[in-house]
Amino acid sequence: MLKRLMETRKAVVGVIGGGYVGLPLARTAANAGFRVLVFDIDREKVELLRHGKSYIVSVTSEEIAGLMRQKLFGATSDFDVLREVDVILICVPTPLGLHREPDLSAVRSTANEIAQRLRKGHLVVLESTTYPGTTEELLLPILEESGLKCGRDFFLAYSPEREDPGNRVYSTRSIPKVVSGIDEKSARLAQLFYSRIVKKVVPASSARLAEAVKITENVYRAVNIALVNELKMLFAKMGIDIWEVIEIAKTKPFGFQAFYPGPGLGGHCIPIDPFYLSWKAKEVGQPTKFVELAGEINTAMPDYVVNQLVRALNERGKPPKGAKILILGVAYKRDVDDVRESPALPIITLLNERGAKVSYHDPHIKEFPALRHYPGLKMKSVKVTRKLLASQDAVLIVTDHSCVDYGFVVQYARLVVDTRNATRTVKKGREKIVKA
């Protein structure tokens, strides 16, 4: 029956977690003709969605309102409604704890909510990024506490999200979808569902392997970014511009892929996943020295940036204490409205500790949301004007949003510290620019 419902697009889809992964996924399923319900414990988000309003850049309010008019989209905080859906997609956060250990509390609590309402015929899919073994070792036992048996009464799969916020080329629908199952039936049903909403499904032989695929993708990026960050620090001491090195190196048509340095890693995956893998590796007694070293290098980059800024200030006779510093861009990457794990957060904290007077401008982040690890950071974006730029002792470019006029910034600022090579095309005033 579940197979027929999915083939005819009459299956009702429940997406648990209406964030940067869940909401684009919900939109994609609804656009494919499925009726979708978004479940979220944040009642403010639910109310916005019910009124046809979006709260993330990658999904527009017009899209949400249009799907609601077609009766293909809804939102609720009532988990009892899970009994009415056929496919349950789990898109909840998997952050790190205080000691960089995996925090799967959201996955665990979601599993408990589902188990209380689990019925025969349900397909449950975990999309959250995690270490290999989570679906089988954590999710499966909790769901089977309901008395139902996986592969017979309900079905369980893992399909890792591959969202790239701000990417104008690839979307949820066009990114190939890795799909696995706890058993053969679960895998076939999950593949059938995703084949109805995305262009390409890539089967994985097991949930554990699919979890490893996702974490490998992100560890690969983290390690290569750590490498260019280390080279940046080395080449800076040699008087060599890492950005020019990379631009020329990438002209080689084979054997080199360009990765770029920055002020640190941000977002929900790349800064976190290496530590998930390292934690799991300890369980099997296998050290991950290379992965852990990359994590240490990337984590140290905010300190490096602040030290470079302080050095530039000192060279101009200005101590950091009392210095006015304008941060340009606090989102974790260009042209997105997400501050999760953004390097701007530790950078601002470090500058505050040194007594600097910090403000920020970000066209996508009007004010800081509630931040789990930075509860004291409550700031609002300021408008960039000639007067403001001239009044600052330094402007620090942390995120290179494309809508910012960097020529204007350099023209009126006293000092510009650029961590993203955002000022590469600026001709006048280059003596004011310091790369960090």
Domains and CATH numbers, the chain: 2-205 (3.40.50.720), 221-435 (3.40.50.720)
Can you tell me the distance from the alpha carbon of 132 to that of 281, in angstroms, rounded to the nearest whole number? 10
- Percentage of residues of the chain with pLDDT beyond 70: 100
Confidence of residue 103 (pLDDT cuts 50, 70, 90): very high
- pLDDT score at 57: 85
Segment 180-209, tens digit of pLDDT: 999 999 999 999 999 999 999 999 999 999
Average pLDDT over residues 430-436: 95
Give yes or no for residue 372 having a pLDDT over 80.
Answer: no
Segment 27-61, tens digit of pLDDT: 999 999 999 999 999 999 999 999 999 998 889 99
Confidence of residue 434 (pLDDT cuts 50, 70, 90): very high
Q: Average pLDDT of the chain?
A: 94
- pLDDT score at 169: 87
Confidence of residue 348 (pLDDT cuts 50, 70, 90): very high
Is 91 one of the catalytic residues?
no
Global pTM? Answer: 0.91
Q: Which residues of 389-417 are buried (b: 16+ CB within 10 A; e: fewer)?
A: beebbbbbbbbbbeebebeebbbbbbbbb
Candidates 91, 150, 269, 403; catalytic one? 269
- pLDDT score at 369: 87
Segment 303-341, tens digit of pLDDT: 999 999 999 999 999 999 999 999 999 999 999 998 988
Confidence of residue 90 (pLDDT cuts 50, 70, 90): very high
- pLDDT score at 325: 98
Confidence of residue 22 (pLDDT cuts 50, 70, 90): very high
Bigger pLDDT: 377 vs 262: 262
- pLDDT score at 269: 73
Confidence of residue 6 (pLDDT cuts 50, 70, 90): very high
- pLDDT score at 395: 98
Average pLDDT over residues 386-391: 97
User: Residue 236: CB partners within 8 Å, gap ≥ 6?
Assistant: 242, 435
Confidence of residue 377 (pLDDT cuts 50, 70, 90): confident
Bigger pLDDT: 265 vs 14: 14
- pLDDT score at 161: 95
- pLDDT score at 52: 94
Beta strand 155-158 with 177-181 is antiparallel
Average pLDDT over residues 83-94: 96
